[in-house]
Amino acid sequence: MSISTATLIIDGVEITVPEGTTILEAARDNGIIIPTLCYLEGLTSYGGCRLCLVEILGSPKLFPACATPVSTGMEVITNSERLKDYRKMAVQMLLAERTHICSVCVADGHCELQELANQLGVDHVMLERHWTAKEIDSTHDFLVIDRNRCILCTRCLRICDEIEGVHTLDLKLRGKDAEVIMDLDEHWGNSCSCTSCRKCAKVCPVGAIYIEGEPLSHTKRKDIAEFITERRERKRKQ
């Protein structure tokens, strides 16, 4: 059985990958780094953070690399000045949307949003910031959610649904008012479906979900979804 492949050009480099691969995967497999925030290997793509936007020659539109499959003859640019400006703006919008104060945050120094701001050279936020006072839920035995720090990347919902398989977490409302909820908007401590597996805290890119009393350097494991899906695949093949 032969696998059909696609050949495309990313940043001037000719790349051949299996059909159905996303631009992001094709780039990463060839050492081209595209910044991401909501993307997590092992989970379905969401395309919400807009940091992985790329240019495809011949189209005025920008495409999210994590959710755009490759096709033969595509010419992709991943790091133009225009894209850099868009990415800087995306980070600033995320920082402006809720109450992000690094110096009082558990994730300070372990935060993917902060890290991206540094990489992209965002040293201040040009937009007027919203100061939210959403509820902090610490009713669970050890898991805490501070919705003021949430960037709505939905990594936690996806890992809860796709890997843990319980779908305790979901979103309510829309746009800037959207909030991560447990079951039918219960307090976390009253959730009857939560298995307390901690995966949500492990994949949270910021300090929105964390484990009480545990240093974040210990909690954070971005590769957990990748690890579990890979092991599952391997078991299925046996």
Partner 1 sequence: MSFLDLDELLIELAKKIQVVYSPIADVKTFPENVDVTLVEGAIGDEDQIELLKKAREKTKILISLGDCAVTGNVPALRNALEDSDRAVLQRAYVENVDVNPQIPNDVPKLLKKVRPLHEAVKIDYFIPGCPPPADIIGYVLTELLSGRTPNMEGRSKYG
Number of residues that bind partner 1 (CB under 8 A): 24
Scanning the chain, the segments in alpha helix (DSSP H) are 23-29, 81-97, 112-120, 155-159, 199-203, 216-219, 224-237
How many whole angstroms separate alpha carbon 6 and alpha carbon 3?
10
3 interacts with partner 1 by CB under 8 A: no
The span of 47-55, 123-131, 153-161, 214-222 binding partner 1 (CB under 8 A) equals 123-131
Q: Give the span between the Cα atoms of 8 and 94, in whole angstroms.
A: 32
**101 sits near partner 1 (criterion: CB under 8 A):** yes
* CB 156 within 8 Å of CB 209: yes
Using the rule CB under 8 A, which residue among 4, 59, 103, 217 binds partner 1? 103
Q: Select from 41, 62, 93, 132 the one that contacts partner 1 (CB under 8 A).
A: 132
Handedness of CA 172, 178, 180, 181 (dihedral sign): negative
- Rule CB under 8 A: say whether 235 interacts with partner 1: no
C-alpha to C-alpha distance for 85 and 156, rounded to whole angstroms? 28
**Smallest gap from residue 113 Cβ to partner 1 (A):** 9
For 114, the 3-state DSSP assignment is helix
Inter-CA distances, 197 with 20, 82, 217, Å? 32, 41, 18
For the bound state, the minimum distance from the C-beta of residue 192 to partner 1, rounded and expressed in Å, comes to 31
Q: Which residues contact 238 (CB under 8 A, 6 or more apart)?
A: none
Q: Please report whether residue 36 would count as binding partner 1 according to CB under 8 A.
A: no
C-beta atoms surrounding 217 within 10 Å:
8
- Choice from 71, 118, 190, 193 touching partner 1 (CB under 8 A): 118
Minimum separation from the CB atom of position 204 to partner 1 (A): 17
Q: How does strand 5-10 pair with strand 75-77?
A: parallel
Q: Which is nearer to partner 1, 125 or 178 (CB)?
A: 125
- Using CB under 8 A, which residues numbered 40 to 69 contact partner 1? none
Rounded distance, CA 15 to CA 229, Å? 25
Q: Determine which residue in the list 26, 40, 90, 117 makes contact with partner 1, applying CB under 8 A.
A: 117
217 binds partner 1 (CB under 8 A): no
* 104 binding partner 1? (CB under 8 A): yes
139 lies in the binding site for partner 1 (CB under 8 A) = no
At its nearest, how many Å lie between partner 1 and the CB of residue 207? 11
224 near partner 1 (CB under 8 A): no
Residues that bind partner 1 (CB under 8 A): 99-105, 108, 111, 114, 117-118, 121-126, 128-129, 131-133, 148
